[in-house]
Each structure stands twice: as structure tokens, then as C-alpha cells.
Structure 1
Amino acid sequence: MIRRAIALVLILALIGGGAAAWISRDWWSDGPSNEEVSVVVAKGDTLASAARALEKAGAIRSTTNFLRFARRFGPDAPIRAGEFTIPARASGRAILDILQNGKPVQHLVTIPEGMPSILVYERLMAEPQLTGQIDVPAEGSVLPDSYSFEAGEPRAAVLARMQAAMRTALDEAWAARKPTSVARTPREAVILASIVEKETAIASERPMVASVYSNRVREGMKLQADPTVIYPITKGKPLGRRIKRSELNAVNGYNTYASAGLPAGPIANPSRAAIEAVLDPAKSTALYFVADGKGGHVFANTLAEHNANVQRFYAIRRARGEM
């Protein structure tokens, strides 16, 4: 009897030791993955569905064991939605902590300065980590910048942040506007800034380009900005060809060759810097500008000066074989 009792104790000890080793291996010891893996937890996912994704990614050995140990030894807290990076060899215990308390991976979507809303829409719709549908945002309502988001976040939420950023930037710039600005309303500031944005890619030129268009508005002159002619045709996308004479003569609310004053609306999403430029333009009497052949522009106060600048630009183009 004594020998049987001793044997039973030994057997139970062995069983207990095996169970402890089993638990240790699948909960506290290193996990099976030899490399970092990424796991996406969608909004509303349960720990069970997350565990299946973890097993598929190779971060855990068994969904069943992970769930058993998580419920037995882990905190009773919900998991977060988002994309999580699981380090190589992470234990089950460490993985659960990441899902419950870790910060989801942040992705970036960048809206360049002067991007029209149709391209903002296409960029957001092409981002595979975002969800849901959106409409093309109102032109001029988005502030160009880089925006972070989490995997599975709705596109509408990201777009709302972009538009809120524009409202804040516009309010701040409008509050600091100078008397020299011709913009009578924040919307007019955005309209004029969108033209400035499309006319120069050089940040230092924005105040001067803004001054030219501001001077033209004061004089009652037509702005004659090519990008306003193109906008009704392509909604801001590149035209890909020369502007036709019929398009220069078209009356559509946007063509600033056909009508004086500002166009009916913005033609792009201007940057904060472009908005600030039209609300504080450079002190100048210039009414004209043309490309200088070096990536920038040369400005003129009179038509005669401007025509001379145009001829110099044509000579540069002919020397390059472009004409």
C-alpha cells in the first residue's frame, strides 16, 4: 500500500510538472515566431478572432491554448482595435498585454499643397488600411498636411480631421490678416490662395504672386490665371495638353480670362502658407509675372516690362529646343 501511494504521488507530480511546462511554454516562455509580425484587430473583434489571426500569423502556437491561458491567467480587460506589431518570440502573456494596452501602429496619408479635392478623394479611397465610403470633399476644405491614422479607421473620420485642420488654420490666418489683403471673407481668402498655390511651387514666391493678383483685383483687371481655365475641364487634374482658344473664351464662373474678379470657388486645397500670403501679400505694384526659365518667375509693373520678360523667356525656350 505504501509503495502504491508513493507511486501515485510520483505520477501526480510528473503530471503536474508536465502541465506546468506546457503552460510555461505556451504562456510565459518565448513564442514560436522568429520575426516580427503584424496583426490587425478590427473594431468589434473578440479575443477569439484575434487569437485566430495570431495563430495564422505564426505569433502563437494554438488558438485554443492561448484563449485558455488568457482567461485563466490574463487580466479581464477588453482588447483594442487597430494594427499591432508583435515582436519576435513574444510570449502569450506579452501578446495579450499588447492587444489590451499597446498603441496601435500609426499610418500616414499625405495631402500635398495644392492638391485638388478629386485627388484627395482618390488618395483616401486607394488607402487599403482605411474603411468606408466618402464623397469628394468640397474644394478648398482640406488642409494639406500629413495625417496619421490607424488600420481599420473610417475614411470619413480621417477626412473630418483634415477639414477640421483647415477650419482651424483659416480661422487663425483670418484673425491675423492685414489691411492690404483684398479678401473680404475667409472663403475669398481660400479662393485666391488656391490660385496662388497652383501658380508657384516656390514658397518664397507666394507673397509676391499674391501681391500681383491682389493688385489686379484692386485695379478691376482680369486675373488671367491659367489654372482657373483648366479647373472646370479636369476638376484640378493635369490637363495634359495646351489650353484651347475656345477654353480661354469660355464663360463658366471659373475662367479668369473671360471674367474679372475671383472665380466662383477654390480650384485646389491651398496650404496654410498660401492662405497667409493672400492675407498679407508682399508690398509691390507688380501686375504681371512670367516664368524665368529657372523654375521661378520674374515680375513686372507694366505691360511693356512684362512683354520684354516674356520675350526673354521665349528665347530661353528656343535655345533649349522647346519652341
Structure 2
Amino acid sequence: MWRHIASNALTFLVVAVFLAGGALIWAQNQYSGPGPLAEAICLEVPRGTNIARVSRDLGEQGAVSHPVLLRLGADYADKTDQLKAGSYLVPEGASMREIVDIVTRGGASTCGTEVIYRIGVANASVVVRELDPATGRYEERASFDPAGEETPEVYAEVKQQADTRFRVALAEGVTSWQVVQELGQLDVLTGEVEVPAEGTLAPDSYEISPGAERAELIGRMQAAQQAILAEAWANRADDLPIDTPEEAMILASIIEKETAVPEERQRVASVFVNRLEQGVRLQTDPTVIYGVTDGKGVLGRGLRRSELDRETPYNTYRIDGLPPTPIANPGRASIEAAVNPADTDELYFVARSLDPADGHVFAETLAEHNENVAAYRRLERASQ
């Protein structure tokens, strides 16, 4: 009898172990395998929430079949206490393991509402947009001038949302005065700041938080530009007619203002380098314009003959060599072009058409250049 009971107990134990092992394998497959989500979603993780609440939300949105299993898996991986607030894009078919990684690894929100403060050469704007999880594209909800237009209601709404992402996007070629002026219009930033030296701000996109200090943001821009310049200068070509990183920045700013075509930067740089080497004046309009405006906005008209004839530190038709300071904040590509120009014998260039995007026509001799200028003048007359 006891032998029979022991045999039954052993059989029951074997079955129980087998079932437990099968359940564990099933749970592992469910946790790591593709999930039931048919379309990507934007998952909001509120500040102060917990993994149990997040798992329930995921279950309600059809992202996981077994919310409890996600919570147990996160606990087993020691990630329960690593939950990060924000809005996260959960892709189609994401496994529970992938979802746990998404909501615990931190970093900027990957979906939801985004406010971009764009500081451009000619104007500034505030753009409110929201990611459509189904397409993975941002859809614009509002766009306005922070200085002149009425603030739309949607902007006031999204500013109050905890998961809204804020960025300042600085265009290549803006002046330091423009940057400070436009940052002063942003109601999410605080504090005052002096206009920094021209050329010391790196054009880029900067993540900000509401209430951040303007001076702190300017400091980040300056640190980024210093790093870019230091790297470019360390990798500069030999025998350049510029002696210091500061002179490289001046040249880079001129290149930045002279061409809107990325592929032309090194070629434009070669023209100015050739002129400096041969002692030929740079004769570039953007420096003259900077001398007229002092970098405070765009000129908005053509240069007058009296302005071209006036001798100022920035009139490269009247002075030899480089102007005393940069004339804008150049981007990385222009800085790198300034210290690694193309190898040409070209000394001249003029716009190819009335559209800046069409670039320039280059020439080695004055005769060739005069022909190119005449062709451009014909285009001007035809357009009028």
C-alpha cells in the first residue's frame, strides 16, 4: 500500500515539475515573442506612476495579452523601479521585453507633442506638432511668429502637458544678436543674457525644459561650437593662409553666408583661400552687409554704391584680408570647409540663377568671370 502511495506521489511530482517547466517556457515565449499590437501606439507614462498601471494601460490598448506577465517580467529583470516618465512610441508587434526596455531606458520622449522654437536667418517661428504613431511622421498642429502673431490655444494647452517635448532649433548663418533676440521671446525660458561673441554659437537642435535659464542654453551652444572648431582645426590642411582657429571661424562664417548649397562649401572656401594666398581682396557682399547692419537682422535690400565705397572694418572691397570678426554663426560643414578647402585655381564665382538653391558658376580668370556676370545680369533683366 505504501509503495503504491509513494509511486502515485512520485508520479504527481513528475507531472507537476513537467507542468511548471512548460508554464515557464510558455511565459518566456509570451514575454519575449511578438506582441498583439496591430498598429504602433504612443504610450504615455505619467510622472509618479508604476509598472502595474502601465501594464494595465498597455492591456487596454491591446499592446499586451497578459498585463500581469509584463509586470512579473519587469520585476524579474529588476526594472520595476526604473520606469521613466514620458511619451514613448511602441512599435507594431512589440514584445513585452521590448516594451519594458522602451519605458525604462530613459532619454527623450519618442512620440507625443513637440514644440520647436525655430530661429532662422530671415525669421523665427514656433511650431507645435504631434507624432502620428501609425505613420511615424509628425503632423503640424500650429505654427506662429512668437513676436508678432496671436498665440494659438493649442500652444497654451501643450505647454501644460507633462510629456511635451521642447526644442530650440538654430539655423546655420544666424547672428548672435538674432539668437539672443529670439530667445528673449520664448516664454518657457528665464533669465537675461548678453549677446555672445559672433560665431561662438553652434547651429543645431537643443532640447530644453520649461523654466531653463537662457544663459545655460547659450553656454551649451558655445561649448558645442568650441568642440567643433577644435576638432576641425586639429584636422586642418597644411599651408593655409590662416594662422588661428579664430581666423578659421571668420572664414567659415563668410562661406556660410555665401552659399546655400552644401556641395559648394569647399569650392567657395578654395576661392577665398586662393585670394588670401595671392593677396587679392575677398570682395564679398555678406561682410559689407554685416558692417551695415552690425548683425542686427537682415538688410532687406541690395547694397548701395555708397556702402560698397565706404571704408569699414567689414568692407572687404576696401580692406585687405579677413574682417575682424565672424559675420554669423557657421555650421560644422562650413567650419570644416574653411580648414579643408577644395584644391582649385578659382578666384571668382557668381550666382548661377536668381534662385540661391542653384548655386554658383566659378571661374579662374577675370575674363571668364565677367562673362558669367553678364549672363547673370541678363537673367536679372529678363525677370524684371
TM over 0.5: yes
Residue 246 of structure 1 is matched in structure 2 by 306
For 1:42-81, list aligned pairs within 5 A. Answer: none
Residue 293 of structure 2 is matched in structure 1 by 234
**Alpha-carbon distance change, 263 to 102 in structure 1, aligned in 2, over 3 angstroms:** closer
Q: Deviations over 1:242-294 (max 9, x none)?
A: 21222112222111011110001100001111010010000100000000115
1:186 to 231, 240, 245: 245
Residue 149 of structure 1 is matched in structure 2 by 208
Residue 138 of structure 1 is matched in structure 2 by 197
- In the alignment, the residues of structure 2 paired with residue 154 and residue 304 of structure 1 have an alpha-carbon distance, to the nearest angstrom, of 55
- In the alignment, the residues of structure 2 paired with residue 315 and residue 253 of structure 1 have an alpha-carbon distance, to the nearest angstrom, of 33
- In the alignment, the residues of structure 2 paired with residue 111 and residue 102 of structure 1 have an alpha-carbon distance, to the nearest angstrom, of 21
| Deviation for aligned residue 1:102 | 11
1:274 to 334, 353, 362: 334
Q: Please tell me whether the aligned partners of residues 116 and 235 of structure 1 are also in contact (alpha carbons under 8 angstroms).
A: no
1:174 to 233, 246, 253: 233
Residue 309 of structure 1 is matched in structure 2 by 372
| Deviation for aligned residue 1:319 | 2.4
Question: Relative CO higher for 1 or 2, CA cutoff 8 Å, sep ≥ 6?
Answer: 1
**Alpha-carbon distance change, 259 to 107 in structure 1, aligned in 2, over 3 angstroms:** same
Q: Deviations over 1:130-175 (max 9, x none)?
A: 1000111110110111111101010000000000000000001111
Residue 292 of structure 1 is matched in structure 2 by 352
Residue 205 of structure 1 is matched in structure 2 by 264
2:382 to 313, 319, 322: 319
* Secondary structure of the structure 1 residue equivalent to 2:190: coil
**Alpha-carbon distance change, 202 to 102 in structure 1, aligned in 2, over 3 angstroms:** closer
* Secondary structure of the structure 2 residue equivalent to 1:251: coil
RMSD: 2.4
* Secondary structure of the structure 2 residue equivalent to 1:147: strand
Residue 110 of structure 1 is matched in structure 2 by 169
Q: Please tell me whether the aligned partners of residues 109 and 146 of structure 1 are also in contact (alpha carbons under 8 angstroms).
A: yes
2:276 pairs with 1:217: yes
Gaps of 5+ in 1: 1-35, 40-83, 87-100
- In the alignment, the residues of structure 2 paired with residue 172 and residue 123 of structure 1 have an alpha-carbon distance, to the nearest angstrom, of 29
TM-score by length of 2: 0.56
Q: Which has the higher helix share?
A: 1
Residue 265 of structure 1 is matched in structure 2 by 325
- In the alignment, the residues of structure 1 paired with residue 312 and residue 378 of structure 2 have an alpha-carbon distance, to the nearest angstrom, of 34
Gaps of 5+ in 2: 1-43, 48-84, 88-105, 109-161
Q: Which has the higher strand share?
A: 2
TM-score by length of 1: 0.67
| Deviation for aligned residue 1:122 | 1.3
Q: Deviations over 1:206-226 (max 9, x none)?
A: 000000000000111110010
Aligned AA (1:166): Q
* Secondary structure of the structure 2 residue equivalent to 1:159: helix
| Deviation for aligned residue 1:123 | 1.9
